[in-house]
Amino acid sequence: MNLRRIDTRNAAALPLMLALYLTLAGCSGLQIGTQIDDSETLRKYHRFAWMPTQAGAAKDPLVAQYGCDAIEAELKHRGFQAAADPTQADLIVDFSLGSDKRSSTRSSADPYIGPWVPEVPDWTAYQMLRNQQQWQTGINAQEYEGTLAIMMFDARTHRSVWRGWARKALTDADAANPGDLIRKAVRKIFQEFPKT
């Protein structure tokens, strides 16, 4: 999209058009990554337990519960059983959810006016066009990026055996219904989980 070709006579529409442009340009889907300890095989694990955490550590207990429920469902779907007694687990599972505010500034070069503008000295035409397109320079964009990380540890050695993560620029729809996004992220992470 060439911003210089936008008709500046419709100045009221410019903020909306810029917001749309920045939203589309900054949109990124769910980014997924996983890592497994090469020396470990997940086939030897059968029962899992949650890592003990401090009560109230999550900012929003409901959001944390979405993560817990989604991860537990995926583990059970893959044949793991929740240990009734955490000391009997061979795999310890933990996760973290968070969001960070990100800011970026985008700018464009000042327009160049050549000798083709009739009856107006170059400097005057340059100043007029620059004033019309002032909105192009110094565009500040702020967004929130959400991150989900899932970690699994050997219960006996406490060694990390697998981890997966998802990252996404959050939208208003994500904020309104975080459970759907968390379940989707967990499903996509576990698509990369090794067959056991």
Please state the φ and ψ torsions of residue 167, each to the nearest 5 degrees. -140, 140
Q: How many Å apart are CA 184 and CA 65, to the nearest integer?
A: 15
Q: How far apart are CA 184 and CA 66, in angstroms?
A: 11
Q: What is the mean pLDDT of residues 171-187?
A: 92
Residue 101: per-residue pLDDT: 82
Residues 62-88, mean pLDDT to the nearest whole number: 94
Contacts of 86 (CB under 8 A, 6+ apart): 49, 50, 52
Q: Compute the average pLDDT of residues 124-129.
A: 56
Highest mean pLDDT among 58-62, 70-74, 136-140, 175-179: 70-74
How confident is residue 7, by pLDDT bands cut at 50, 70 and 90?
very low
Beta bridge partners of 50: 93
pLDDT at 194: 86
pLDDT the model gives residue 18: 34
Judge if pTM exceeds 0.95.
no
Architecture of domain 3-191: 2-Layer Sandwich (3.30)
Residue 52: what pLDDT?
A: 86
Q: What is the pLDDT of residue 23?
A: 37
pLDDT, residue 60, reads 81
pLDDT band at 118 (very low <50, low <70, confident <90, very high): low
Q: How many other C-beta atoms lie within 10 A of the C-beta of residue 74? A: 18
pLDDT above 70: residue 27: no
Q: How confident is the model at residue 22 (pLDDT cuts 50, 70, 90)?
A: very low
Greatest mean pLDDT among 56-60, 119-123, 125-129 lies in 56-60
Question: Can you point out the beta strands (E) in 6-55?
Answer: 31-36, 47-50
Burial of 1 (0-12, 13-18, 19+ CB in 10 A): exposed
| More confident position, 60 or 112 | 60
- The structure tokens listed for 167 are 């990252």
pLDDT average, residue stretch 38-43: 75
What distances in angstroms separate CA 66 from CA 38, 56, 61, one per listed residue?
Answer: 30, 15, 9
Query: What six digits make up the tokens of 88?
Result: 């009997």
Q: Where do the structural domains in the chain lie, given as residue ranges?
A: 3-191
Helix axes 178-191, 61-77, angle to 10 degrees: 30
